[in-house]
Amino acid sequence: ADDKISDEALDVSSFQPKSAFLRTMVERGFLHSCTDIEALDEKMEAGVVTAYLGFDATAPSLHVGSLLQIMILRHLQKSGHKPIVLLGGGTTKVGDPTGKDGSRKMLTDADIQANIDGIRGVFDKFLAFGEGETDASMVNNDEWLSSLKYLEFLRDYGTLFTINRMLSFESVKQRLARENPLTFLEFNYMILQAYDFLELNRRYECTLQLGGSDQWGNMVNGVELTRRANNGAEVFAMTAPLITTSDGKKMGKSEGGAMWLNEEMLPPYDYWQFWRNTNDDDVGRFLKLFTELPLDECDRLASMKGAEINAAKKVLADECTRMLHGGGVLAKIHETAASVFAGKDGSMDNLPRAGVTAEEAAAGVSVIDLYIKLGFAKSKSECRKLIEGGGARINGEKIEGIDAVVTGEMLKEGAVKLSMGKKKHGLVEIQ
């Protein structure tokens, strides 16, 4: 039971699970790595498995970056197992150094409690809480971490961790390689996270920790500690891939800031628009990860080409928004989306137009030239300033650079809407 687990993520790509939960994880793209996956698969086939996932309370709302983890807990429960949502009231006081270049801002107890109060509500939309065998429960690790006595803790558990082992984990190695100070406080985070698993195993017979692939080292620590301190307890760790968009950006952020899950921090329309603006290459993957549409339907929608893919993006946006905010908001969102595209009065008839030939469209037409053609700028230099100032948009999406072009692919669906600021809108269409 004391055998060390590999520091590197274990390759489970060829594994074909029997249990419903692991099968879903594989088929929909949630599985990155897992300790002793064959034994976990058998355990999940044999009965109810209790698993936990931790969320630190660093902000008053979670954002889309946490949605993958919430969906994993939802699939776990739907597969007949018990999810524990672990809120990090204790670990938030320390700060997880994983993937960070600097120390996390220290929060007061009142800040942390306010954040926990803000975070908890979102889980009710994805999980069923209660006292039943597979009902979800919410636990705060402050319950046991804040009452720990330092000398007793060191005596009981200090010998079960080695500095050599902790330095071997990727999150620590990366931080040290970048020559950014790693404080002793943050270095303790992985010990506390490991201790969380031990406590949850003792209190709730929790045998599986879930998390992102960047947490592998911390999670392995928890498995090893729980086995050693709990007489060889059979426990497991499973990670999901870190989700980036096809252009390499981190999931959950947009030009306008974080895509929050709480309605008071991000209106449902903006949330819908975030999914509607998904890159073409990400549509199929995101449908499998963030909706519950059948796999064959996800594949059908992902196979759409050209302008058709926009219909698939609307399905993705509708499904994601329905799950978080309820189906009741969709009619108003669709109405708003139509009017935003059309212009202030809901009609496109009065908008200025710029025509391009099919040949020009095939080669790509500079947006700078089109803005001048529409009369929104008098010169290329004026136009460049407006774009660099962030006020230029194509179909409601911010134009990132002065080299942007309108392509034939974009015009397949019909007119393309160019906007400059909030009041100037025009249409580009093939003559």
Q: What integer pLDDT is reported at residue 154 of this predicted model?
A: 92
Element of type H or E holding 82: strand 82-88
Q: What is the rounded CA–CA span in Å between residue 90 and residue 106?
A: 12
Residue 307, pLDDT > 80, answer: no
- Distance between CA atoms of residues 110 and 378, nearest Å: 54
- pLDDT score for 40: 96
Pairing type for strands 137-140 and 208-212 reads unpaired
Percentage of the chain beyond pLDDT 90 is 47
pLDDT at 287: 98
What does the angle CA 63 – CA 68 – CA 73 come to, to the nearest 5 degrees? 110
Q: Per residue in 180-226, pLDDT tens? A: 778 888 788 889 999 999 999 999 999 999 999 988 988 999 999 99
Other residues' Cβ atoms within 10 Å of the Cβ of residue 252:
19
What's the Cα-to-Cα distance from 88 to each of 147, 189, 242, 295, rounded to whole Å?
Answer: 14, 11, 20, 34
More confident residue, 237 or 244: 237
C-alpha to C-alpha distance for 113 and 92, rounded to whole angstroms: 10
Token pair, residue 424, equals: 């100037």
Q: 3-state SS of the chain: helix, strand, coil percent to 5? A: 50, 15, 35
Q: Residue for token digits 């058998």?
A: 42
Spatial contact of 329 and 321, defined as CB atoms under 8 Å apart = yes
Structure tokens that stand for 50 in this block: 């209790």
Distance from chain centroid for Cα 53 = 14
Mean pLDDT of the chain: 87
The answer to whether residue 378 scores a pLDDT higher than 90 is: no
- 138, 123 contact by CB (below 8 A): yes
9-27 confidence digits (pLDDT tens): 677 878 899 999 999 999 9
Q: What does the pLDDT read at residue 4?
A: 63
Highest mean pLDDT among 26-30, 162-166, 398-402: 26-30
Whether residue 56 has pLDDT greater than 60: yes
Q: In this predicted structure, which of 17-21, 49-53, 392-396 has the lowest mean pLDDT?
A: 392-396
d(C-alpha 305, C-alpha 59), whole Å: 39
* Percentage of residues of the chain with pLDDT beyond 70: 91
Q: Which of 205-214, 342-351, 352-361 has the highest mean pLDDT?
A: 205-214
Give me the sheet containing 353-356, strands edge to edge. 353-356, 424-430, 416-420, 392-394, 397-398
- Which candidate, 429, 251, 255, 272, places its Cα nearest to that of 340? 272
| Residue whose C-alpha is closest to residue 188's, from 229, 218, 211 | 218
User: What is residue 91's DSSP assignment?
Assistant: G
Main-chain phi, psi angles of 60, to 5 degrees: -75, 0
Place of tokens 């426990």: 235
How does strand 137-140 pair with strand 82-88? parallel
Handedness of CA 176, 170, 160, 230 (dihedral sign): positive
pLDDT of residue 1: 39
Q: Compare 171 and 108 and report the one with higher pLDDT.
A: 108
pLDDT number for residue 2: 46
Highest mean pLDDT among 17-21, 401-405, 410-414, 415-419: 17-21
φ/ψ of 114, rounded to 5, equals -65, -40
Is residue 7 scored above 70 in pLDDT? no
pTM for the predicted model, two decimal places? 0.78
pLDDT at 70: 97
Contact 310, 275 (CB under 8 A): no
Q: What are the DSSP E strand ranges found in 236-391?
A: 236-240, 253-254, 257-258, 353-356, 365-366
- Residue 412 scores a pLDDT above 70: no
Centre a 10 Å sphere on the Cβ of residue 152 and count the other Cβ atoms it contains. 9
Beta strands in 257-342 (DSSP E): 257-258
> H helices of 79-140, where?
109-123
pLDDT band at 349 (very low <50, low <70, confident <90, very high): low
Of the pLDDT bands very low, low, confident and very high (cuts 50, 70, 90), residue 283 is very high
